[in-house]
Chains A and B, each alone.
Chain A
Amino acid sequence: MSGWLVVGQAALVLLGGGIVGLFYRGVDRKIAARMQARIGPPLRQPFLDLGKLLVKETVIPKTAVAWLFSAMPFLAVIASFTALLYLPWGPFGPVLEGHGDAILVLYLLAVPALAMALGGFASGSPLGVVGAQRELVMLVSYEFPLAVVLVALAWRLSTLGLGPAFSLGVLAQNPLWGAVGPLGILGLAILLVSLLVVTPAELAKIPFDIPEAETEIAGGLFVEYSGTYLALFYLADAVRTVVMAGLVVALFVPYGIAGPLGLRGAAAQVVDLLFWLLKVFFVMVLAVTTVRVGMARLKVDQIARGFWWRITALALGGLLLLVLDKVVMA
């Protein structure tokens, strides 16, 4: 593959990811509004929001550590967009296939959260500091179950001997559902549930939106951010939604419909890409929109305990079932 082609593909993916992220944000708001019997903003509202924020004045508070405060939004955006490059887009494999693996994606997902926390600490506002502390508590709470899910899948795949198991591309090409026994299917289902619970936490949406918690700490992490910097965080958040939903799709439902429909060539690729977008959309609605409409915000200790005891136990249970399945199948 020539260098220029990679650059071209990367540009396409980055641009597409940004647009899809913002568009899905608009759809998410519209659906949530409908569920609450409101009319809701137009679908293009996130684009307008972003544009508006970009032309607004950017204020750096006097009490802030200026360089850290200004660097963090860029770090968040770069990390989330980079994660897009490791994500299989339906029929297309990851752009940077072979230059890093699923573990890297985990880190890339954690970096924006860390960047937000650092930005909160650097903002010099007590509300920002509280938000940052909460973000870090959240990070150590949900990161472990997330890692367990990924490791369980990769390990099971490696036992089947189908190439580098920690590559998202390989994981997506070899869905495990057909390759394991009944115990394994149960284990996979449990892992899927824990991943769906982790998704809103990773994206800091209600009931896990405590780092921002508008009515409690007035936006927490973002309380001092404005203008361009806030726009960057907004963009990073939208892209992270696509990455996270894309991760769920790649790990658990990487199937295409072009094959069964008997399509070939470019048409198959287009149909599969559209189907992939639909799946990502469905995961987002299921794990983010409906959950945030139907629940109240939890408290930090409730979230930490919930993740450490319940979700981690759930994920480990799934892992155990996969191990048992391997023993039985062998």
Chain B
Amino acid sequence: MTEREPRDPNDPVLPAVEEVREAELRGVEAGLGEVFEVPIGPIHPAMKEPIRLTFRVRGERIVGVEIRTGFAHRGIEFMGMRQGRNLIQVLYLSERICGICSVSHPIAFTQAVERAAGIEVPPRAQYIRVIISELERIHSHLLWAGVAAHELGFDTLLHLTWRVREKVLDILEELTGNRIDYAIPIFGGVRRDITPEQYPKVWEAIRYYRGLLEQLLDAFLRDPTVEARTRGVGVLEPKEAEELCAVGPTARASGLRKDVRQDRPYLAYPDFEVKAITPADYGLTPIGDVYDKIVVRLLEVGQSLDIIEKALMNMPEGEITSFPKIPALLAYLKKAEGEGLGWHEAPRGEVIHYVRLVSGDESLLVWKVKAPTYSNLLSWYPMFEDQEIADIPIIAACIDPCICCMDRVYVVRDGREETWTKEQLLKLSWEKTRRLRR
């Protein structure tokens, strides 16, 4: 019932607004019933971030949708280019574009600047960047899986996945000092080394997740209610995914082997021979529904484990940065001139940064940030077509939207209780980091 008819290959992937309205009126004339508007957002329990989706609904069925974003626009690029910040300060800004992919944006940004200024990155630093970004992918995919379960009304699965996710956050805290905003990449290297004493803890986490992955696959993919709610829901056909330039797991679930790490590798990624994962790797025929997106994300957790394992085993020795002194780096960057692109496969898809530096100015002339959700936004239109109201949250969630990332805004999360002061919380987090490091 919920499955939408396959698209006519001659139809445009995005129907014009007027056409949708006309079809709606024709339906009313044909006695299918009136159409009314259901607004979802900007504030809605299913959306963790502000976005407004206005649905035109007949009964329980969606006949049209309007998407309005920008409720969280911070003008980060403007702040980076036009308010006299130097590049190190902009690096901090780039880290705060998104709380979840908080290493993806700096990785893309530092690469762009390194290309523009011609800075080499030592091999060990490249490996460390890869390890941190793959750990981040694990935590982000588990976070998503929990949110998806919650959207389906399956809170037990939410609690299970989020409990499991704590382990990778602990490892990230152990390696970088923070649960999010790791502040690892810097122009020409990384800020912290991974020491041999830390290896065993990472190995232990890898073993932990290896054992759990099968359980998670079982809990998500073989649960009849989850299957009933996700099979055939929110279908994105391969042609649509290609024409609308979808990225990341959203595109891969439709069967496109599109992964930046594979297609145009960067950093140390050629060493790991990353292959884009589609549901076909799990023995399924990809149809691009929500179920396929769950499959892809969970399999990618396993892929990330492989990459981290390989990286730990082959870690090159040597320096972690080509500019140990920040003033020297700043002086070099001030003289540099050029333009560059930096890209990275974030958990949600392709992140791309474009920068242009001019000699004699320590700030950027041009900075353009593209977050994955930016590319995936349009794929919502075909996904919502002809679905039911009940499917809205899971379809909205299935591209793993990071609205703030797209709008480029930072969310401040406050402490557990009001009575905790900022200093107390800070002390608490220090204590925890120390406890982990012991």
Contacts and interface: CB of A to CB of B under 8 A. Distances in A.
A121 to B, nearest CB: 13
A215 B60 contact: no
Interface string A272-312: 00000000000000000000011111111110000000000
27 contacts: A37-B160, A126-B37, A129-B36, A130-B57, A130-B60, A213-B390, A214-B153, A216-B392, A216-B393, A217-B389, A218-B45, A293-B156, A296-B225, A296-B226, A296-B228, A296-B229, A297-B153, A297-B229, A297-B390, A298-B228, A298-B229, A299-B228, A299-B229, A299-B388, A300-B390, A301-B2, A302-B228
Interface of B: 1-2, 36-39, 44-46, 57, 59-60, 149-157, 159-160, 163, 223, 225-226, 228-229, 388-393
Contacts of B44: 218
Contacts of B39: 126
A158 interface: no
Contacts of A297: 152-154, 225, 229, 390
A72 interface: no
B388 A215 contact: no
Give the interface size bracket for A toward B.
20 to 34
A38 to B, nearest CB: 6
Given A295-B154, A300-B60, 5 more contacts: A36-B155, A126-B39, A134-B60, A296-B229, A298-B225
A293 B223 CA distance: 13
Contacts of B391: 299
Interface stretch (A92-100, A175-183, A192-200, A204-212): A204-212
Contacts of B156: 35-36, 293-294
Nearest to A209: B153
Closest 4 CB pairs of A and B: A297-B153, A296-B154, A296-B225, A36-B159
A127 interface: yes
Contacts of B38: 126-127, 130, 217
A127 B223 CA distance: 29
Contacts of A38: 159
**A37, A207, A213, A215 pick with most chain B CB within 10 angstroms:** A215
**B36, B45, B392 pick with most chain A CB within 10 angstroms:** B45
Contacts of B160: 36-37
A216 B159 contact: no
A295 B219 CA distance: 11
Nearest to B388: A299
Interface in A302-328: 302
A215 B37 contact: no
Nearest to A126: B38
A323 B390 CA distance: 40
Nearest to A297: B153
B45 A296 contact: no
Nearest to B153: A297
A299 B390 contact: yes
Contacts of B229: 296-299
Contact of B159 (A37, A134, A302): A37
Interface in A187-236: 206-207, 209-210, 213-219
Contacts of A206: 153, 155
A207 B60 contact: no
A296 B150 CA distance: 8
Nearest to B47: A215
Given A35-B156, A36-B155, A215-B45, A210 B37 contact: no
Contacts of A134: 60
Nearest to A130: B389
Interface in A151-199: none
Contacts of B37: 126
B217 to A, nearest CB: 16
B145 to A, nearest CB: 13
A58 B391 CA distance: 31
A296 B393 CA distance: 13
B389 A301 contact: no
A207 B153 contact: yes
Contact of B393 (A215, A219, A302): A215
B222 to A, nearest CB: 13
B383 to A, nearest CB: 16
Given A130-B389, A296-B229, A297-B153, A216 B46 contact: yes
A37 to B, nearest CB: 6
Contacts of A294: 156
Contacts of A129: 36
Contacts of B226: 296
Nearest to A305: B1
Interface string A134-149: 1000000000000000
A215 B153 CA distance: 7
Contacts of A130: 38, 57, 60, 389
Contact of A213 (B153, B223, B225): B153
A300 B60 CA distance: 9
**B38, B149, B388, B389 pick with most chain A CB within 10 angstroms:** B389
A210 B393 CA distance: 13
Contacts of B57: 130
B46 A215 contact: yes
A118 B237 CA distance: 41
A37 B152 contact: no
A207 B390 contact: no
Contacts of A218: 44-46
A296 B223 contact: yes
Contacts of B389: 130, 216-217
A42 B302 CA distance: 39
